[in-house]
Chains A and B, each alone.
Chain A
Amino acid sequence: MPHDHHDHLSPSGHPYRADDDTSLSYWQTMEIAVRELLVENGVTTAAEIAVQIETMDARNPSNGAKVVARAWADPAFHAALMDNAGDATRDMGFDIGPLKLIAVENTADVHNMIVCTLCSCYPRNLLGLPPDWYKSRAYRSRTVREPRSVLAEFGVNLADTTQVRVHDSTADMRYIVIPARPQGTENMSQTELAALVTRDSMIGTGVAKTP
């Protein structure tokens, strides 16, 4: 394949991202200084910081997918999850922290989606860090006013008869969407079901994949 340096497109047709090797910034300098001062003053240790980064890196949407798959397959767990999502997911071994976690369930008639209009609150202990668009002015501003047009940008086109419920998160209260279980999955295992659950389906900007 001939190299084409003019259009800066990868073989997949997407533009390459810029290298992340800019010169040291003021804020990076502050991060280094703050971190070293905290260690020198005995507030934390380098090991504790490393463990926290590893803990956060290990959180990703596959954790939420396991929760959704179990809710689809296990009626008792489903009931517990809808009653108190924090306790139900803690019982599965996830570190949800002190936050109140609320599960909202999509059905044939109702579609839920989550946003944080004030900042970037997200079920990060379960799904990992939020995608950049979740923190964007456009998503924060428009989702509570025109959710259907936002959903359409994500490729989710709902029937006019479907009720849309938008949940505005707060610092202390986070939501996770339980997407509707796809047709034709009756005989699938929880592991197979979990593979159908995408990050966006748990934010409400997507739906679960069909097998």
Chain B
Amino acid sequence: MFDPENPARRWHDMGGNAAGPVPTDQHDFSMWEKRVDALMIIGSAKGYFTVDGLRRVLEDMGEDAFEKMTYYERWIASVNQNLIEGGAYTTAQLAEKMAQVAARGDTYGDAAKPT
């Protein structure tokens, strides 16, 4: 939300904005979400990025992503971007691997081979 009184204020800086009731819905974390969380911790612990790097990509995604993507969808997008920038793998490797994964099946269980 653009703030004409403070043009430098970005969308994620939402403290003080008007909003509706606090939602009470709660979901159980899926295995893939727990894995994203673990990849964030491990990638960060091994020096590929900092929490600032994680947040820089999240904030640059913009408000649209905040509304349309789930929390861990945004996180894997940011973790991936940071890992590529950190040299953990290349975009070509990612594209090839994602094509392989998608070809394994139509569900997460089919596509995530036992590791």
A194, chain B: closest CB distance, angstroms = 23
Question: Which of A21, A33, A139 is within 8 Å of B98, CB to CB?
Answer: A33
A61, chain B: closest CB distance, angstroms = 13
A79, chain B: closest CB distance, angstroms = 30
Binding-face segment, A41-49, A80-88, A157-165, A176-184: A41-49
In A1-32, the 8 Å CB interface with B consists of: 17, 20-21, 23-25, 27-32
Contact assessment for B55 and A133 in the assembled complex, using a CB-CB cutoff below 8 Å: no
Contact assessment for B26 and A49 in the assembled complex, using a CB-CB cutoff below 8 Å: no
Contact assessment for A37 and B115 in the assembled complex, using a CB-CB cutoff below 8 Å: no
B108, chain A: closest CB distance, angstroms = 5
B85, chain A: closest CB distance, angstroms = 13
Contact assessment for A52 and B12 in the assembled complex, using a CB-CB cutoff below 8 Å: no
Question: At the interface, is chain A mostly helix, strand, loop or mixed?
Answer: helix
> Which of B23, B69, B93 has the most chain A CB within a 10 Å cutoff?
B23
Q: Does A117 contact B (CB under 8 A)?
A: yes
Interface size on B, residues (CB 8 A): 63
In B20-40, the 8 Å CB interface with A consists of: 20-30, 32, 34-39
Report the Cα distance A33→B83, complex, angstroms.
Answer: 12
Contact assessment for A49 and B98 in the assembled complex, using a CB-CB cutoff below 8 Å: no
Report the Cα distance A142→B19, complex, angstroms.
Answer: 7
Report the Cα distance A35→B114, complex, angstroms.
Answer: 12
Report the Cα distance A34→B80, complex, angstroms.
Answer: 7
CB-defined contacts of B80 to chain A, threshold 8 Å: 30, 34
Q: Does A195 contact B (CB under 8 A)?
A: no
B58, chain A: closest CB distance, angstroms = 7
Contact assessment for B15 and A31 in the assembled complex, using a CB-CB cutoff below 8 Å: no
Contact assessment for A136 and B23 in the assembled complex, using a CB-CB cutoff below 8 Å: yes
B110 nearest in chain A by CB position: A24
Contact assessment for A171 and B38 in the assembled complex, using a CB-CB cutoff below 8 Å: no
A21 nearest in chain B by CB position: B107
* Contact A32 B101, CB 8 Å, known A27-B76, A49-B42, A137-B19: yes
Contact assessment for A132 and B15 in the assembled complex, using a CB-CB cutoff below 8 Å: no
In A83-126, the 8 Å CB interface with B consists of: 115, 117-120
Q: Does B64 contact A (CB under 8 A)?
A: no
Report the Cα distance A37→B102, complex, angstroms.
Answer: 15
Report the Cα distance A29→B22, complex, angstroms.
Answer: 31
A120 nearest in chain B by CB position: B71
Contact assessment for B76 and A30 in the assembled complex, using a CB-CB cutoff below 8 Å: yes
In A185-208, the 8 Å CB interface with B consists of: none
Contact assessment for A34 and B79 in the assembled complex, using a CB-CB cutoff below 8 Å: yes
- 10 pairs from A and B in contact (CB 8 Å cutoff): A27-B73, A33-B97, A37-B88, A38-B43, A38-B88, A48-B42, A118-B12, A120-B71, A137-B66, A138-B22
Seed contacts A27-B73, A153-B21; 13 additional CB < 8 Å A-B pairs: A27-B77, A31-B32, A33-B100, A38-B89, A41-B89, A52-B41, A53-B38, A56-B38, A117-B16, A119-B55, A133-B24, A137-B17, A171-B52
The 9 A-B residue pairs with the shortest CB-CB distance in the complex, in nearest-first order: A117-B15, A52-B38, A33-B97, A141-B17, A141-B19, A46-B115, A138-B19, A27-B73, A37-B89
